[in-house]
Amino acid sequence: QKEVEQNSGPLSVPEGAIASLNCTYSDRVSQSFFWYRQYSGKSPELIMSIYSNGDKEDGRFTAQLNKASQYVSLLIRDSQPSDSATYLCAVKAMPGSQGNLIFGKGTKLSVKP
Amino acid sequence: ETGVTQSPTHLIKTRGQQVTLRCSSQSGHNTVSWYQQALGQGPQFIFQYYREEENGRGNFPPRFSGLQFPNYSSELNVNALELDDSALYLCASSLGGEAYSPLHFGNGTRLTVT
């Protein structure tokens, strides 16, 4: 059974701090990794994708991937109250049209003003 | 460029009834995937359609079925509704054949089964 594990939280950080969200996955052949943000009652919104080992930065967000450790993380710098949401880690085993996303249960982030 | 649109946004049904949910894919996308998200859980893969053919299915019973039309829009049908079918149903489109096409979700349909 392919699994994606996340700490459910809630993770609480003060405004302006760095929020660190972590995710591990069980399927060693996984190819693509995604972070989605989901506000309460809304649908998931893609914020980052990463496919190669190392770091990928996009504005205040940095995704980190370590395939040897089967670990992917998301760092949010200068956290804002508007970043308060549930962050879903998703893993795809196969590129292209085949294969589906396996999601973790999500980590709830709360940024306190 | 229009995004993924789903209808209806909310739906209340009685146990044993049947329901049809609809999805229009993002312009240019030929692959549609459906997910079920129960409260407090991550989305669970139901199935995927590529060029009108089902080409992947998750661990859902046959009473969950679907269609994809020539314009790449899609339907999810659920028969003999059960209380546990109450969830947010998400449709996502992507470009099949492109190695790393990410999924973009619609706003979802909230289904309540009483």
With CA atoms as reference, the chain A residue closest to B6 would be A43
Amino acid A57: pLDDT: 97
B64-93 average pLDDT score: 96
Q: Using CA atoms, how far apart are residues B113 and B11, in angstroms rounded to an integer?
A: 9
Q: Is A101 helix (H, G, I), strand (E, B) or coil?
A: strand
How many angstroms separate the CA of residue A1 from the nearest CA in chain B?
Answer: 11
Query: Which residue, among A93, A94, A99, A85, has the nearest Cα to A36 in the 3D structure?
Result: A85
Q: What is the pLDDT of residues A24-75, one digit of tens each?
A: 999 888 888 999 999 999 999 999 999 999 999 999 999 999 999 999 999 9
Q: Using CA atoms, how far apart are residues A94 and B64, in angstroms rounded to an integer?
A: 24
Which of B31, B42, B100 is the closest to A95 by Cβ?
A: B100
Residue B47 to residues A7, A54, B36: CA-CA distances in angstroms? 27, 31, 10
Amino acid B36: pLDDT: 97
B19-24 average pLDDT score: 97
Mutate to test the interface with B, among A100, A103, A105 (most CBs of B within 10 A): A100
Q: Using CA atoms, how far apart are residues B41 and A88, in angstroms rounded to an integer?
A: 10
Instruction: Tell me whether strands A11-14 and B109-113 are parallel, antiparallel or unpaired.
Output: unpaired
Q: What is the mean pLDDT of chain A?
A: 91
Amino acid A54: pLDDT: 95
> A66-70: long-range contacts at Cβ-Cβ below 8 A with a sequence spacing of 24 or more?
A67/A28, A67/A30, A69/A24, A70/A24, A70/A25, A70/A26, A70/A28, A70/A30
Query: Which residue, among A52, A53, A35, has the nearest Cα to A44 in the 3D structure?
Result: A35
How many angstroms separate the CA of residue B73 from the nearest CA in chain A?
Answer: 16
Q: Is the pLDDT of residue A97 over 60?
A: no
Amino acid B97: pLDDT: 60
Q: What is the pLDDT of residues B42-53, one digit of tens each?
A: 999 999 998 899
